[in-house]
Amino acid sequence: MPRKLFVTTALPYANAPFHVGHMMEYIQADIWVRFQRMQGHEVHFVCADDAHGAPIMIAAEKAGKTPQQFVTEIAGGRRQYLDGFHIGFDNWHSTDGPENHQLAQDIYRALRRQGLIAERTIEQFFDPVKGMFLPDRYIKGECPRCGAKDQYGDSCEVCGAVYTPTELKNPYSTLTGATPVMKASEHYFFQLSAQRCIDFLQEWTGQPGRLQTEVLNKIKEWFAVDEHGHGALSDWDISRDAPYFGIEIPDAPGKYFYVWLDAPIGYLAALKNYCDKSGRDYDALMADPALEQIHFIGKDITYFHTLFWPAMLKFSGRKVPDRVFVHGFITVSGEKMSKSRGTGISPLRYLELGMNAEWLRYYIAAKLNSKVEDIDFNPDDFIARVNSDLVGKYINIASRAAGFIAKRFGGALSGDVGVEGLSVLDALRAGCSDIERLYEEREFGKALREIMLLADRVNEYVDQHKPWELAKQAGQDAVLHRKSRLSCASRRCASPTRSARSASTRSASTST
Ligand SMILES: [Zn+2]
């Protein structure tokens, strides 16, 4: 039975170009999606820019642009990365699109009807010069513990103390330098602590196969009841005061949804926009019980995707996610990527240098598994892996026979592989179901190891039969044709990590 899959990757924040961490996630999801499509399943694979929030509003202002202009320009730069690394999204949308405004407001109204929205007055720092409430990251001051100057509102980089912005000594707004004042404001909360939310989330997270073991263990900590008998799930502040770049809260003038409320709804908006553009019925698709909704995300946003997001969907009467696939981060030579320290690799620079996208796709695939583990990009290891596996084994097979097939046999394969050839082919085909299972389970590293073993097998066959010698002998054409055929047939199993474009036979080297 063909499956119906709605697959997303996390929405990137629209304040900067992609980094290699984004590309890792897109490559992981793209390989999985490509595999599902090869199995004949129906896949709708979408993503969007996460366009809202204070950081974008402030960055746009600094750049002398409207937030809309700012995010449109960022969005305009996405295509070169996605095409460059052969990522096959069906649609790329924006959380500032009209579909998302509509969906976010609909979902909010439904949650309110369910009695799950509370109003509470909270006090927050306010910049009297700028006339806006300050998110924690825009407040600095002296550490309440060690007195270090210019520390952020949540923690001290000098002594490691963790605190709230109101505990800072001599606080100031990083936007204007003004001393912030405490000001009260009415906020809206999604009541995640309600017993029915907790009951639902216990049930949803506990479904076998839905979440990885490590993720489940983390969630158990979040559910744990503290020494005072309180559940750890607290209500979620979903509103922000104007000025804010976001979606207006219905019936609440001057109030906007916190960016994290409307961001995941962007998955639905991207799908709806895709359906509308391609003549599909979004409502019918979402109402189909056979549709599997699957999100690929990084480990840092697990809380949002395994608690808030399913609860929002459930209590607004919508389909809940079937699976959330969480991955770790990518490090470079064992170090966390850091722009300021100049570590990390720029995906665009990689392409500009003339490096083949397939090399990075292969290398990342070879390192990925189904666990929430960080993977490391190591330049020396990258070159060695690409040269030994991709060029030395996999491409080698084709390059050893493709010439004969093209020049001598008009590009047509022989219908006859001979008894020996057939036994090699049978061995290759016997490996298929295991490899398929590994792809399905996102055990790409293991799948590629299996595939490389098969490549070894074919290379052994070619070595034994030496088609280059047959080619020199008169009257051996039929034999040569037979022996060359295997080289092409064996390439089938490995293709989900590769794009439709052919991989280069050039070796990877630092000189490019
Ligand atoms: Zn300190």
Amino acid at position 339, single letter = K
Dist. CA 163 → ligand 1 center (Å): 10
3-state helix/strand/coil string of 202-228: HHHHHCCCCCCHHHHHHHHHHHCECCC
Q: How far is the CA of 175 from the centre of ligand 1 (A)?
A: 22
* pLDDT (mean) for 160-179: 93
Centre of ligand 1 to C-alpha 339, Å, is: 24
From the CA of 136, how far away is ligand 1's center (Å)? 16
CB 170 within 8 A of CB 180: no
Distance 173 CA to ligand 1 centre (A): 19
How far is ligand 1, taken at its centre, from the CA of residue 313, in Å? Answer: 41
374 CA to centre of ligand 1 in angstroms: 30
pLDDT at 280 over 70: yes
Cβ atoms of 177 and 190 within 8 Å: the answer is: no
- 366 and 385 in contact (C-beta within 8 Å)? yes
CA of 151 to the centre of ligand 1 (A): 8
The count of other CB atoms within 10 Å of the CB of residue 295 is 22
pLDDT of residue 496: 57
So what's the pLDDT on residue 164? 86
Dump pLDDT digits (tens) for 347-398: 999 999 999 999 999 999 999 999 999 999 999 999 999 999 999 999 888 8
- What is the whole-number distance in angstroms between the Cα of residue 179 and the centre of ligand 1? 20
Q: What pLDDT, on a 0 to 100 scale, did the predictor assign at position 402?
A: 82
pLDDT of residue 485: 74
Q: 139 CA distance to ligand 1 centroid (A)?
A: 15
pLDDT for position 174: 95
Average pLDDT value for the chain: 91
**Whole-Å CA distances, 211 to 261, 294, 326:** 22, 11, 8
pLDDT at 348: 94
pLDDT at 229: 64
In angstroms, rounded to a whole number, what is the distance separating the alpha carbons of residues 147 and 224? 35
Q: What's the 157 CA to ligand 1 centre distance in angstroms? A: 7
Task: Give, for 151, the enclosing helix (H) or strand (E).
Answer: strand 151-152
Whole-number Å distance, alpha carbon 150 to ligand 1 midpoint, is: 10
Q: Which has the closest alpha carbon to 23: 85, 75, 94?
A: 85
CA of 227 to the centre of ligand 1 (A): 28
Answer whether 52's CB lies under 8 Å from 101's CB.
Answer: no
Integer-rounded Cα radius of gyration of the chain: 27
Q: How far is the CA of 135 from the centre of ligand 1 (A)?
A: 20
Q: What is the CA(160)–ligand 1 centre distance, in A?
A: 6
What whole-number distance in Å separates Cα of residue 502 and Cα of residue 489? 15
CB burial readout 227-248, b (16+ within 10 A) else e: eeeeeebebbbbbbbeebbbbb
Ligand 1 center from residue 138 Cα (angstroms): 18
**All structural domains of the chain with their residue ranges:** 1-116+191-327, 117-190, 350-497
In the 8-state DSSP scheme, what is residue 138? Answer: G
pLDDT band at 233; cut points 50, 70, 90: confident
* CA 155 / ligand 1 centre spacing (Å): 8
Q: What is the Å distance from ligand 1's center to 7 Cα?
A: 44
Ligand 1 centroid–CA 149 distance in Å is: 8
Q: What is the DSSP letter of 13?
A: B
* pLDDT greater than 50 at residue 511: no
**Contact, 487 vs 424, CB < 8 A?**
no
Give distance in angstroms: CA of 121 to centre of ligand 1.
30
Give the distance (Å) from ligand 1 centre to CA of residue 202: 38
The pLDDT tens digits for 250-275 are: 999 999 999 999 999 999 999 999 99
Is the pLDDT at 494 greater than 50? The verdict is: no
Q: Is the CATH code 3.40.50.970 the one for domain 1-116+191-327?
A: no
391-442, pLDDT tens digit by residue? 999 988 888 888 888 888 898 988 888 898 899 999 999 999 999 999 999 9
Q: Flag whether pLDDT at 495 surpasses 60.
A: no
**What spacing in Å lies between the alpha carbon of 152 and ligand 1's midpoint?**
10
Query: How many DSSP H helices and E strands does the chain contain?
Result: 20, 16
pLDDT of residue 230: 65
Residue that wins the pLDDT comparison between 23 and 415: 23
**Cα(281) to centroid(ligand 1), Å:** 56
Question: What's the rounded mean pLDDT across residues 495-512?
Answer: 46
Query: Which pLDDT does position 414 carry in this prediction?
Result: 85
pLDDT in tens, 134-166: 998 899 999 999 999 999 988 899 998 988 888
Cβ atoms 321, 366 nearer than 8 A: no
Whether 452 shows a pLDDT value over 90: the answer reads yes
Task: Provide DSSP, 65-85.
Answer: S-HHHHHHHHHHTHHHHHHHT
- Span from the CA of 263 to the centroid of ligand 1 (angstroms): 34
- Rounded to the nearest whole angstrom, what is the distance from the C-alpha of residue 177 to the centroid of ligand 1? 20
CA of 336 to the centre of ligand 1 (A): 23
**What are the backbone angles phi and psi of residue 180, rounded to the nearest 5°?**
-70, 150
CATH topology of domain 350-497: Isoleucyl-tRNA Synthetase; Domain 1 (1.10.730)
Per-residue pLDDT, 30: 98
Residue 143 alpha carbon to ligand 1 centre in Å:
5
Q: Could you tell me the distance, in angstroms and rounded to a whole number, from the CA of residue 340 to the centre of ligand 1? A: 22
Is pLDDT larger for residue 87 or for residue 409?
Answer: 87
Distance (angstroms) between ligand 1 centre and the Cα of 288 equals 54
pTM, 2 dp: 0.91
165: which residues sit within 8 A by CB, 6+ positions away? 125, 134, 136, 139, 141, 153, 154, 171
Q: How far is the CA of 156 from the centre of ligand 1 (A)?
A: 5
pLDDT for 400? 82
Q: How far is the CA of 365 from the centre of ligand 1 (A)?
A: 42
Expressed in angstroms and rounded, the spacing between residue 259 Cα and the centre of ligand 1 is 30
161: CA distance to ligand 1 center in Å? 6
> Cα of 142 to ligand 1 centre, how many Å?
8
CATH of domain 117-190: 2.170.220.10
**Mean pLDDT, range 296-320, rounded to an integer:** 97
CA distance 383 to 355: 11
pLDDT of residue 497: 59
The yes-or-no verdict on residue 467 having pLDDT over 70 is yes
Q: Kindly state the tokens that stand for 132.
A: 């806006």
